[in-house]
């Protein structure tokens, strides 16, 4: 039950936000669409692939899971970069100031950290690369998993803050059933990832 729930919640949230945004109707419409697809689907699935509880392919070997993980993460990072460029260009076009809301400021920080996390992942894939070859592989793995979980939870906070944006409040209202449904779904995604990483890396018996 638990293992299906995370995928259903993620798919439901992505569909709902895309339905609100109607991708293609304006340049802005691609910002929520690409962001929720990137973080709420590709990145979530990329992390859940390693979970014992919510894994869609429980019999896959570790090598297959690692390959699926980096392919999904490349898709997630591409969506995130696309979503960021869209909102940046859109603001330039309408002569609006940049990074003035908490969503915008934390969103920019999350984007930067996502790029760092992606390069750390590249270091795990190619540990002989300069800089990465100075670190022990097991240390790099732990760091990658813990920072990955932390950054994902931060991205959930950024999505949560977007529920307070004028755009979302105009579509769904504030503290309405639809607002709370989105809020609870976003919190659930953060909880799933937090539990998975905590179980594997923090509470592992030596
Ligand atoms: C469903 C998800 C999302 C929705 C509905 C949404 C909505 C919005 C809206 C309405 C704005 C313009 C108002 C403002 O500046 O605060 C905005 C700006 C922004 N968003 Fe999002 N957003 C979402 C997800 C994300 C995510 C996941 C990130 C980054 C990880 C992000 C990063 C940004 C940034 C950096 C800005 C400001 C850009 C600038 O000032 O040039 N957004 N978003």
Q: Give 20-53 pLDDT, tens digit per residue.
A: 999 999 999 999 999 999 999 999 999 999 988 7
Q: Is the pLDDT of residue 205 over 80?
A: no
**What burial letters (b/e) apply to 137-164, b meaning 16+ CB within 10 Å?**
eeebeeeebeebbebbebbbbbbbbbbe
Inside any domain, residue 166: yes
Please count the structural domains in the chain: 1
Predicted confidence at residue 200, as pLDDT, reads 80
The CATH number assigned to the domain holding 29 equals: 1.20.120.1770
- Helix residue ranges, H only, the chain: 2-21, 30-37, 44-48, 62-93, 102-125, 137-162, 166-172, 177-197
Greatest Cα pair distance in the chain: 56
Give the distance (Å) from ligand 1 centre to CA of residue 87.
7
In this predicted model, what pLDDT tens digit does every residue of 155-180 receive, in sequence order? 999 999 999 999 999 999 999 999 99
Inside any domain, residue 59: yes
Inside any domain, residue 23: yes
Q: 101 CB less than 6 Å from ligand 1?
A: yes
Inside any domain, residue 34: yes
Boundaries of domain holding 113: 2-199
Phi, psi of 61 (to 5 degrees): -75, 165
Inside any domain, residue 162: yes
Inside any domain, residue 137: yes
For residue 162, give the 3-state DSSP assignment.
helix
Nearest residue (CA) to ligand 1, atom 29: 107
Q: 9 CB less than 6 Å from ligand 1?
A: no
Q: 189 CB less than 6 Å from ligand 1?
A: no
Inside any domain, residue 206: no
Predicted confidence at residue 91, as pLDDT, reads 97
Q: Is the pLDDT of residue 206 over 60?
A: no
């Amino acid at each position: 039950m638990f293992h299906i729930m995370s995928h259903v919640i993620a798919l439901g949230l992505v569909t709902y936000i895309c339905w609100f945004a109607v991708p293609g109707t304006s340049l802005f419409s691609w910002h929520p669409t690409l962001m929720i697809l990137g973080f709420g689907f590709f990145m979530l699935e990329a992390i859940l692939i390693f979970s014992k509880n919510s894994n869609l392919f429980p019999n896959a070997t570790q090598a297959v899971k690692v390959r699926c993980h980096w392919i999904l993460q490349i898709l997630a990072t591409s969506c995130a970069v696309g979503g960021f460029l869209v909102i940046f260009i859109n603001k330039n076009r309408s002569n609006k100031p940049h990074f003035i809301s908490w969503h915008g400021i934390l969103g920019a920080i999350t984007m930067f950290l996502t790029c760092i996390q992606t390069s750390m992942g590249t270091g795990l894939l190619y540990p002989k690369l300069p800089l990465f070859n100075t670190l022990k592989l097991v240390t790099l793995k732990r760091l990658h998993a813990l920072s990955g979980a932390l950054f994902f939870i931060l991205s959930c906070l950024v999505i949560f803050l977007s529920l307070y944006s004028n755009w979302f409040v105009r579509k769904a209202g504030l503290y309405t059933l639809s607002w709370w449904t989105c809020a609870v779904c976003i919190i659930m995604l953060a909880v799933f990832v937090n539990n998975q990483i905590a179980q594997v890396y923090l509470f592992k018996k030596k």
